[in-house]
C-alpha cells in the first residue's frame, strides 16, 4: 500500500450505457436444456408464464412444447394427476407428494432416466420450480424438495414520484431513478418492470411495496387518484406471482379524505380506511397490503393524538383483514431531536421501549417490521432485541439491500454473511430457535434497483439482491454458497479460475468494508445527509442520537445496566450478561456496549488503538488486492461489466484510503498514541 493517500474526490466515470444487463438470467440460461421436448400439465394463470419461459429458453435451441408426456424430456405438473405412461421421474415426484404434501409455493425437482420433472401443488409452485431449473440447471439423478421458510418475502422500494433535490427519485438509491415513477406519475412504459418481476420471481420474492416509506403529498395520491396507474403495475407483477403493496401516510384521512382528525380511535377514521381499502381491492383484487412509517423522522403517527402504535395500526388492519391483506408497521420509532449532551437517552433502546409494552395488542394481520439492528443498518451492530422479545406479535425482520451505510453500491460489499449472522442469531443461546424461525412476519428488505443498465449500479451489487431472495427462501442457507450460485448464474460457462477470482473479491468484502470504516461496532462516522465517506464527528453533536463519545481517554458508548443506558438489559440471558461484561463482550461490538480506554486489550490481543490502526491499513490493502484480481479478468468478463467494475474499484480504493487516513489521524490526535508499526499518520 502506498504511504501517501490522496484525498481528491474525483471518481472515474463509468463506461457509457450500452445494453441492459440480464443479471443472473442471461439469454444462455436455457442453453443447458438444449432442444428438449417439454410437457406442461395443470391449471392456473401462472402456467402461461411457465410456457412463455420455456419458449424463451428452448426455442433458440430447437426445443418445443408437446402434448404427449411419454415423449417429453422435461415435465411440469401443477396440481394435476398424470397417466401411467408418464416418465419415472414424474411418478416418483407425485408419489412423494402423496405422502408429504407441498405448500402452495413448494415444488419437487426430480430427475431419472434422462427426464427432469417439476411437480407442484399449484401453478405458483410450478413457476418457482421452472425458474429454479432455468437458473440452476438440471438436478442430478434423484429428487430435491423446495419449500420457502416463510410466506412473506418482500422488497420495500424507497421510490419517490417526484425528484428529491438531494436523493433523486429513489431515497437512498444508488442505481439511477425509479423504474416505477417519473415526473410525478407511474411510468407509461412498464416493460422494464416486467423484466424486474421476472428476476424477483426467479429468487422467490413474492411481494413488493413500490413507494417510499416516507410518503409525501404526491405519493399519498397513489391511494386515490393515481390508483388506476398503480393497478397497471400490479398487472405487470401478477404473471410472476408478485403481490403489490403500498406505503401509505398515516394522516391520509385528513390529507385525502378531508377529515378534521386522523385519530385512530375515531369511528370515522375506521370508516375512511375501510372505504379507501375497498376501493384499492376493487382496482387490485390481489393487493398485498400497506406499509406504514409512523411517528418516525417527521412522519405523522398516533403519538400526535396520544395513542399507542397498536391503536394507530388498528383501523388500517381492520380495513385490510376482510381482503386477506397485511399491514407492515415499522418499529423504526425514536427521538430524532435528542440532546447530544444527554447521555441517558439512547436511540438503541427506542424500538424495545416503544413496542414491547404493546406485545399482543396488534391485530393478527399486522407484522411489526423491525430493522435487524437497533440503530440503522450499520456495517456492525447487535441484533435488535425487540425481534426476540415480542413473542405475541408477528415480527418481520427488515434488511437493507441498498448500501446506504456500506458504500452506496460504489464499493464491493457482499452482505450475505452479515444477514446470515442476523438470521442465525439465537436470543436464548444455542438451544433456542434462530431469528430465521421466530420472524413469523417474514423477511423484508430495502431494494437496491434503479434505471441503471446494471439494475443495481454496481454489477457486483446484484449479488446482494440475489442473496436476499435466496436467504428469504432458505434463511439458514450458507451465504457463501449462495454467492457461488450467483457467480455461476451471472457468469455462466466461465472456468473455475474466473469463478474463484470473483469469489475471492466478494466473499470477504463485507469484512473488508468494516475494516476501513467505523471500528468495533461504534457505527456511523459518515458524512451527514448522504452517508457516504468519512466524517468522524459528523453526527457527534447532532440531534440524531448516533454518538461515539471519543475523548482523550477513550471511545465508545456505555450501554451497560450497571453504569450506562441499560440497553444491554433488553437482551435475555446469556446475551444480557455477555454484553454487560467488558471481559466477555465480543470484540466486534465492544464500542457499541462499552466506553473503553485506547489501551484496552481486546480478545485478539491487540489494543483498541492498535486495532484501529491495523484494520484500517489492512482494509485499504484488501481493496488493492480486489483491483489486482479484477484487472486479471480483462478479456474474460464482458467489456461493459469489466469497465464498470474497474472504474468503481478506483473509487472504492480512493474512499478506503480516505477512511483510513482520517480515522487513523483522528484517533492519533485524540489519544496521542502512535502506531506501533511506524506507518505514517497525518
Cβ atoms of 50 and 133 closer than 8 Å: no
Q: Which helix (H) or strand (E) holds 486?
A: helix 479-490
Rounded to whole angstroms, how far apart are CA atoms 445 and 172?
A: 13
Give the pairing of strands 64-65 and 394-400: unpaired
Domain encompassing residue 540: 513-671
Q: Specify if 10 maps to a domain.
A: no
Collapsed DSSP state (helix, strand, coil) of residue 350? helix
Burial letters for 620-635: b for 16+ Cβ neighbours within 10 Å, e otherwise? bebbbebbebbeebee
What is the rounded CA–CA span in Å between residue 45 and residue 107? 17
What are the respective helix, strand and coil percentages of the chain, to the nearest 5? 40, 15, 45
Q: Which of 221, 398, 404, 580 is catalytic?
A: 404
Q: Tell me if 666 is assigned to some domain.
A: yes
DSSP-derived secondary structure letter, 526: B
**326 touches 280 (CB < 8 A):** no
Separation of alpha carbons 540 and 13, rounded Å: 33
Q: What is the pLDDT of residue 304?
A: 97
d(CA 159, CA 163): 10
d(Cα 329, Cα 196) in Å, to the nearest integer?
Answer: 26
Judge whether 487 and 420 are in contact, CB under 8 Å. no
Asked about 404 being catalytic, the answer comes back as yes
What does pTM read for this prediction?
Answer: 0.95
297 is catalytic: yes
Burial profile 4-37: b = 16 or more Cβ within 10 angstroms, e = fewer: ebeeeeeeeebeeeeeebebbbeeebbebbeebb
**Rg of the chain over CA atoms, in angstroms?**
26
Residue 52 forms part of a structural domain: yes
d(CA 483, CA 412): 13
| Residue 176 is assigned to a structural domain of this protein | no
Give bridge partners of residue 326 from the DSSP assignment: 289
Neighbouring C-beta atoms of residue 325, cutoff 10 Å: 21
CATH assignment of the domain containing 81: 3.30.379.10
Let me know if 359 is a catalytic residue.
no
Residue spans of alpha helices (H) in 137-210: 191-202
- Is 359 a domain residue? no
pLDDT of residue 598: 98
Element (H, E) at 316: helix 309-320
> What's the Cα-to-Cα distance from 604 to each of 146, 320, 380, 586, 640, rounded to whole Å?
41, 52, 17, 10, 42
Domain boundary among 131, 146, 161: 146
Residue 385 placed within a domain: no
Tell me the β-bridge partners of 156: 209, 446
| Residue 534: DSSP 8-state | B
What is the model's pLDDT at position 29? 66
Rounded Cα distance between 501 and 626, Å, is: 9
Contact 328, 305 (CB under 8 A): no
Name the one residue in this structure whose C-alpha cell is 450460485.
485
Domain contains 444 = no
Beta bridge partners of 207: 154, 243
Task: Render pLDDT for 488-543 as a digit per residue (tens, 0 to 9).
Answer: 999 988 899 999 999 999 999 999 999 999 999 999 999 998 999 999 999 999 99
The residue out of 146, 175, 196 marking a domain boundary is 146
Is the Cβ–Cβ distance between 24 and 462 less than 8 Å? yes
User: How many Å apart are CA 529 and CA 540, to the nearest integer?
Assistant: 14
Q: What are phi and psi of 274, to 5 degrees?
A: -65, -50
3-state secondary structure 1-14: CCCCCCCCCCCCCC
592, containing H or E segment: helix 590-593
294 is written with which cell numbers? 409512523
Residues of the chain with pLDDT under 50: 1-17
Residue 275 has a CB neighbour count (10 Å cut-off) of 11
- Is residue 579, in this structure, part of any structural domain at all? yes
Q: N- to C-terminal Cα distance for the chain?
A: 16
Nearest to 101 by CA among 66, 125, 65, 76: 125
Cell numbers for 452:
441503471
* 3-state secondary structure at position 117: strand
Q: What is the pLDDT of residue 166?
A: 63
CATH number at residue 533: 3.90.1330.10
Confidence (pLDDT) at 195: 97
* Chain centroid to CA 331: 17
Last residue of a domain, one of 146, 171, 190: 146
- Number of structural domains in the chain: 2
Judge contact between 206 and 242, C-beta under 8 A.
yes
Comparing C-alpha atoms, which of 394, 376, 344 is closest to residue 563? 344
pLDDT of residue 18: 56
State the Cα–Cα distance between residues 204 and 473, nearest whole angstrom: 6
Q: Which residue out of 105, 156, 229, 376 is catalytically annotated?
A: 376
Residue 110: predicted pLDDT: 94
- Answer yes or no: are the C-beta atoms of 460 and 175 closer than 8 Å: no
Residue 130: alpha-carbon gap to chain centroid: 24
DSSP E strand boundaries for 26-180: 37-42, 64-65, 74-78, 107-112, 115-120, 142-146, 153-156, 159-164, 168-170
With cell 438444449, the residue in question is: 34
Query: What would the 3-class secondary structure string for 593-656 be?
Result: HCCEECCCECCCCCEHHHHHHHHHHHHHHHHHHHHHHHHCCECCECHHHHHHHHHHHHHHHHHH
254 by DSSP, 3-state: which? helix
Amino acid at each position: 500500500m502506498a504511504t501517501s493517500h490522496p484525498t481528491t474526490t474525483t471518481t472515474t466515470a463509468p463506461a457509457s450505457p450500452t445494453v441492459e444487463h440480464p443479471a443472473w438470467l442471461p439469454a444462455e440460461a436455457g442453453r443447458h436444456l438444449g432442444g428438449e421436448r417439454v410437457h406442461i400439465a395443470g391449471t392456473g394463470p401462472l402456467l402461461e408464464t411457465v410456457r412463455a419461459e420455456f419458449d424463451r429458453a428452448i426455442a433458440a435451441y430447437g426445443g418445443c412444447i408437446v402434448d404427449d408426456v411419454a415423449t417429453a424430456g422435461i415435465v411440469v405438473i401443477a396440481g394435476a394427476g398424470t397417466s401411467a405412461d408418464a416418465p419415472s421421474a414424474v411418478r416418483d415426484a407425485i408419489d412423494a407428494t402423496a405422502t408429504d404434501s407441498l405448500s402452495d409455493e413448494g415444488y419437487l425437482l426430480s430427475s431419472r432416466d434422462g427426464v427432469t420433472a417439476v411437480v407442484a401443488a399449484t401453478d405458483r409452485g410450478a413457476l418457482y420450480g421452472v425458474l429454479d431449473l432455468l437458473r440452476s440447471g438440471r438436478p442430478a439423478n434423484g429428487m430435491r424438495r423446495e419449500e420457502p421458510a416463510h410466506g412473506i418475502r418482500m422488497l420495500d422500494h424507497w421510490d419517490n414520484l417526484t425528484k428529491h433535490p438531494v436523493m433523486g427519485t429513489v431515497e437512498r438509491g444508488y442505481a439511477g431513478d425509479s423504474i416505477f415513477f417519473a415526473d410525478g406519475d407511474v411510468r407509461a412504459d412498464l416493460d422494464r418492470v416486467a423484466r424486474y418481476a421476472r428476476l424477483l420471481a426467479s429468487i422467490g420474492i413474492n411481494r413488493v411495496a413500490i413507494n417510499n416509506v416516507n410518503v409525501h403529498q404526491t405519493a399519498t395520491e397513489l391511494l386515490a387518484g393515481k390508483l388506476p396507474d398503480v393497478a397497471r403495475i400490479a398487472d405487470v407483477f401478477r404473471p410472476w406471482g408478485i403481490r403489490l403493496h403500498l406505503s401509505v401516510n398515516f394522516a391520509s384521512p385528513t390529507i385525502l379524505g378531508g377529515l378534521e382528525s386522523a385519530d385512530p380511535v375515531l369511528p370515522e377514521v375506521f370508516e375512511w380506511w375501510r372505504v379507501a381499502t375497498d376501493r384499492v381491492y376493487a382496482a387490485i383484487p390481489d393487493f398485498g397490503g400497506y406499509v406504514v412509517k409512523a411517528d418516525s423522522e417527521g412522519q405523522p403517527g398516533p403519538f400526535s393524538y396520544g395513542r399507542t402504535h397498536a391503536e394507530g395500526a388498528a383501523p388500517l388492519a381492520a380495513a385490510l383483514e376482510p381482503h386477506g391483506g397485511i399491514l407492515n408497521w415499522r418499529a423504526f420509532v425514536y427521538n430524532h431531536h435528542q440532546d447530544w449532551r444527554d447521555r441517558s437517552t439512547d436511540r438503541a433502546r427506542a424500538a424495545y421501549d416503544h413496542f414491547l409494552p404493546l406485545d399482543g395488542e396488534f391485530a393478527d394481520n399486522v407484522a411489526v417490521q423491525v430493522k435487524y439492528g437497533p440503530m440503522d443498518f450499520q456495517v456492525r451492530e447487535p441484533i435488535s432485541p425487540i425481534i426476540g422479545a415480542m413473542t405475541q406479535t408477528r415480527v418481520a425482520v427488515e434488511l437493507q439491500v441498498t448500501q446506504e451505510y456500506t458504500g452506496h453500491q460504489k464499493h464491493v460489499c457482499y452482505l450475505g454473511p452479515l444477514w446470515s449472522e442476523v438470521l442465525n442469531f439465537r436470543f436464548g443461546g444455542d438451544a433456542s430457535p434462530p431469528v430465521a424461525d421466530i420472524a413469523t412476519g417474514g423477511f423484508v428488505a430495502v431494494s437496491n434497483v434503479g434505471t441503471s443498465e446494471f439494475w443495481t449500479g454496481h454489477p457486483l451489487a446484484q449479488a446482494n439482491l440475489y442473496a436476499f431472495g435466496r436467504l428469504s427462501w432458505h434463511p439458514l442457507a450458507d451465504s457463501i454458497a449462495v454467492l457461488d450460485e450467483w457467480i455461476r448464474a451471472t457468469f455462466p460457462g466461465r472456468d473455475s479460475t474466473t469463478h474463484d477470482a470473483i469469489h475471492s473479491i466478494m466473499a470477504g468484502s463485507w469484512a473488508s468494508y468494516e475494516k476501513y470504516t467505523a471500528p468495533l461496532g461504534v457505527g456511523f462516522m459518515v458524512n451527514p445527509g448522504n452517508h457516504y465517506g468519512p466524517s468522524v464527528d459528523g453526527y457527534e453533536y447532532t440531534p440524531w442520537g448516533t454518538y461515539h463519545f471519543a475523548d482523550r481517554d477513550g471511545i465508545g458508548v456505555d450501554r451497560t445496566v450497571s453504569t450506562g443506558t441499560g440497553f444491554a438489559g433488553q437482551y435475555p440471558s446469556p446475551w444480557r450478561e455477555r454484553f454487560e461484561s467488558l471481559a466477555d463482550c465480543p470484540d466486534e461490538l465492544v464500542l457499541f456496549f462499552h466506553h473503553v480506554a485506547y489501551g484496552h486489550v481486546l480478545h485478539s490481543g491487540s489494543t483498541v488503538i492498535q486495532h484501529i490502526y491495523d484494520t484500517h491499513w489492512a482494509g485499504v490493502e484488501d481493496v488493492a488486492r480486489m483491483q489486482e484480481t479484477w484487472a486479471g479478468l480483462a478479456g474474460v468478463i464482458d467489456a461493459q461489466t469489466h469497465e464498470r467494475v474497474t472504474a468503481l474499484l478506483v473509487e472504492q480504493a480512493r474512499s478506503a484510503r480516505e477512511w483510513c487516513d482520517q480515522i487513523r489521524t483522528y484517533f492519533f490526535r485524540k489519544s496521542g498514541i502512535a502506531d506501533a508499526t511506524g506507518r505514517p499518520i497525518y
